A and B are shown apart, each in its own frame.
Chain A
């Protein structure tokens, strides 16, 4: 065995650095080109939709100016139309939808990821995914023929008991069922059922990723299961909760057929969401596109552009919130 050698201090940098090359194979080049063009084409399609909407909407936006956002009436023949009441209705329905989807989705996600026995977990996950895959026309039918009738009484009860001191819950003719049937409240709750699986599945996915080490750490300290969830799972999944809420909101704002089926359209600011009559951007477009031409159609495209931008922003924010956190790094939304 030779004696160990002792190295002197490193010399100042005189060594030539090597240039490292990796020459891709023909297959790699082909595959990269194919997948890159696929990826780019989705961006292009997205951009084209935006450009198409903007161009189509331009005459209406030019004519109405800022009034397009602030005007409530929709009278293209008379030359005044705007989406103010539509925006408000969209917001109200989104709000009611979240009131249903967030608490139930949160609870369901926690149950599936934390409490459900193993034999139940898989079927529940599949069921939630299936719920998300059901076309919303089915929810619309169910909402129209089942939910509407049952929610009537709920709406009436809220109106009678809270309407006297909270004007928000008041309706004009509380004795007539038709005062309640086509309200933002009922449409919002039906929409909430539509977005519920989305919210549930985002939250569940994040909760399930809470590190086993931290979970065991809490349990070994004598925590109850709920204590462990409060200390480890929920803080870890906070961004997933926010992301799930925003993604649900994004879907709720764009929900068309459920709202269209339930509401009776109205072009006013309603401060009485329990009362029949409201409208949303999506439902309005669906209701009017076939009978519109010229400036009216441009107006609908303008409404579509606003909805497009809204959902784009909300979904992007949701994506950023989820991926920024340590829990969401591996989550796809």
Chain B
């Protein structure tokens, strides 16, 4: 079985190449794939007859219990023959049907072959989820085939409609399959042999039937099938007559032995089946397009098939299986006939066709034989099957189930059902006659006859396949007893007395019903004019209109939901998140506090000094929130930050305090650097009401956070992971400062992630600010050989001080910088080296270097920054990340874990005892990344902003803004104020270095 599937996969994947090489003859080669399915099925006929079921299982995902399980029983055997046999003939037919120059033939060949493979998998799969996979594959391939003419709107629309409807049903089916499989077995055969029952299973059964109904085009999902006739005719013959639409029927036949006694099953199957049969026949009666006529006829027959196979008795099931085979043969044959007619005459409209019986006798014979099978005339398989069906449905024949829906109304329901089937059969007779008469009859055509004179001999590959199928319909009728033996194997799994298949059973009541249906059908056809006029007066509401309205409503609903939730306003989004935080987790914690399980305990303070610092922090925070001046707000936030550092220190976290102080300093400087360019005041206040809302959300969040702060420590029930850190830090990490060892060793992976964030942020800042290039060059002082005249320059303590305008220079600052810079660098190195044992480490060291660079920049301008750090920050960031993460990998070479530390203790002359831990490299990497970040910030928000300001002529007008007169005036005043405070007037730029476009 696997081999058959592999054959399909190979054929489908090689199809494009084959079509390139062989043109449309490639279909001959591709036909071998479905033919292999036929050969496989026929080779195992003996097994199936003997009741054996060959099984193949390949483990797929053992942990999930997913298996590629396949099983061949009588039902799968029948389906394999239909799918493989008709697939073979259709592919051969394609080689003659399509023009040599037809578009998209490569894709078409591949998809059609792949579809055949999916169908083979679907009917043999013995695993619920595997079944679903193949089910959806057929949906997708069908979508591609219906939409084959991608340039045609109806084609695209039909494809979309088909995939939406069948996928919706498929998803419902998946739910059903999961409900069935999750508690028991995923093996289909085991499930059907020992089906679970219960309320959940009832839901599952309803879901399964939804899937089957959508796939097999039952009312109310039937509308996609006629629209799918936009596909090429061979596709209609294969997918929409023989194969895919039979998938739903197959599903019903598969599960009926297990669940046909469930009430929801009976209601759905019988009502939908009978309703579909009548509606399809009724609509078929008034079609002029031959394909549409057959499509509605298919809908009708699918209804009957589902009804028979879902009925739940052995006799009905046997009749249903026989009808399944008969219908596959005759309907595929009829579609292929339409293709022949279409190809020969250029039209499918029966009003334009006349006298084709004489022009194409072979095709006409095929059509007559296939139609006879469809409407149930002897000696055809259709007649055998329909006789058996009517016999099985006769209420007093001893076949009907004793209880359930059919017993309702004292057995009247059973009679109603029988009447519906007879009526449906009569309609089938009427539209069958209409088809033959319309396609081949000789009469006065009501529309201009198109190209009829050009009808010549059709190629054998075009007329052969339908004729073969039609003749097979007769052969199968003769072989009815053999059919009963094979199909009985599956029918035997149903309840009730066995049925019977025979070409001639004598004068039974079923024969009478058949005659009645025939008579009624002939009458409907004889008086077709009256029937058509009656139908025109009595319009049935079209389901596809309802579908379109539903889809439009869905679109509108989606747009409404989007419009409601996606406000596009940052404050609204943040507000919603925060309110949800308060309402969700906040209320939950509050509830826990009120009802008692959460203990609450509080001490006023750990150390009295905390109270004083908290007072400062609190006041600063509140004032910052109220401030209208940017600078004031920034400085107040800075105060709060420094206060936090003190709180860290009081808490016993010197590392944090150090880092916080350094970070706060850099932040302040950076903020002020940018504020130079921004208006001094925040823009006009929003509405007062708005402010109260924000205040309310703020206070609410604050309260919730306070509750969390009280509850979180108390909620600890396990020993903290950090309990062993002190010991581990010394013995494994080789350091005494546990926080630092945690960063570079115990939780080094976290740190790698975090410095990666720094790298990304630094790169982001650079790319936002450097407009013309992705990252600016390193600004260096012009060398003497550049020959820069420097008459106006005054020498000073800093190399680049000369590049500043005299009134922007501060000698005091330059001298101080000269003194402290090197000391700061040495301090940074000290912090780095002691970090493993004392407060310090890569982060603070990098920040100290950053501050040292900041001082140089503030004192000497942007050229001074280039002189102080003549490297590209990208290099620092990259090297840093490499040292941290890359060197961590080196431990792998020595058989250790990634980022594992090695401790080296050596006696070195002069220095004495040296204790080195390899994680020092990690810390150096961290430091480099932080320095790179600081340098990037200074270069962009400092130096580049200077440059852009000078370019704007220091007018402080925002770049591409027009008509900002009022705002600009205010802007200019304030910003110059800040600028003066910082470095005064525009710098004098060394010629040849800048001012380049």
Do A and B form a real pair? no
- Chain B residues near A (Cβ < 8 Å): none
